[in-house]
């Protein structure tokens, strides 16, 4: 019998209400970033993946978030943060990605 696969999946699930004034967020190791009035708001994910070492009965947290006019929502895979490169060959990391989103967003709006 082949060994049981233990890889889990990281993801973000968003559910918008019909009027787009509220979103429900649930994350498996991946956050939701909202840029509101040039400020960054981070909604943390549960620190567990879907499947892998997480039991099938595991419940994930759902957070209801009121949306404001001109909010911008960002979700991303772990591929960005885990990317190696640059002059030092180090990982990009989530902290730098959030800083980059916040910095560049000022020029978009």
Following DSSP, what letter does each residue of 39-61 receive, concatenated?
Answer: EEEEEPPBS--EETTS-TTPPPP
Is residue 85 domain-resident? Answer: no
Sign of dihedral through CA atoms 98, 15, 8, 60?
Answer: positive
Residue 95, in any domain of the structure: no
From CA 95, how far away is CA 20, in angstroms rounded? 28
Total number of domains in the chain: 1
Across 11-15, 74-78, 96-100, the highest mean pLDDT is recorded for 11-15
> Does some domain include residue 93?
no
Band of the pLDDT at 98, cuts 50, 70, 90?
A: confident
Domain annotation covers residue 98: no
Of 7, 14, 22, 95, nearest to 60 by C-alpha is 14
CA dist., res. 94 & res. 96, Å (int)? 5
Give the global pTM: 0.77
Establish if 18 belongs to a structural domain: yes
Q: How far apart are CA 54 and CA 58, in angstroms?
A: 7
**Could you tell me the residue range of the domain that residue 33 belongs to?**
8-77
Q: Determine the pLDDT at residue 79.
A: 72
Enumerate the β-bridge partners of residue 40.
35
- Which tens digits make up the pLDDT trace of 18-65? 999 999 999 999 999 999 988 889 999 999 888 776 666 778 999 999
- Both tokens of residue 69? 């006019």
- For residue 97, is pLDDT > 70? yes
8 Å CB contact between 11 and 27: yes
pLDDT of residue 8: 79
């Amino acid at each position: 019998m082949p060994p049981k696969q233990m890889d889990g999946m990281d993801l973000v699930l968003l559910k918008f209400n019909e009027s787009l004034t509220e979103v429900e967020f649930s994350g498996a190791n991946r956050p939701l970033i909202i840029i509101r009035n040039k400020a960054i708001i981070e909604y943390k994910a549960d620190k567990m993946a879907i499947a892998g070492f997480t039991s099938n009965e595991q419940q994930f947290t759902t957070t209801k978030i009121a949306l404001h006019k001109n909010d911008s929502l960002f979700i991303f895979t772990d591929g960005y943060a885990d990317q190696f490169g640059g002059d030092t060959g180090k990982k990009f990391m989530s902290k730098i990605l959030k800083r980059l989103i916040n910095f560049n967003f000022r020029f978009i709006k």
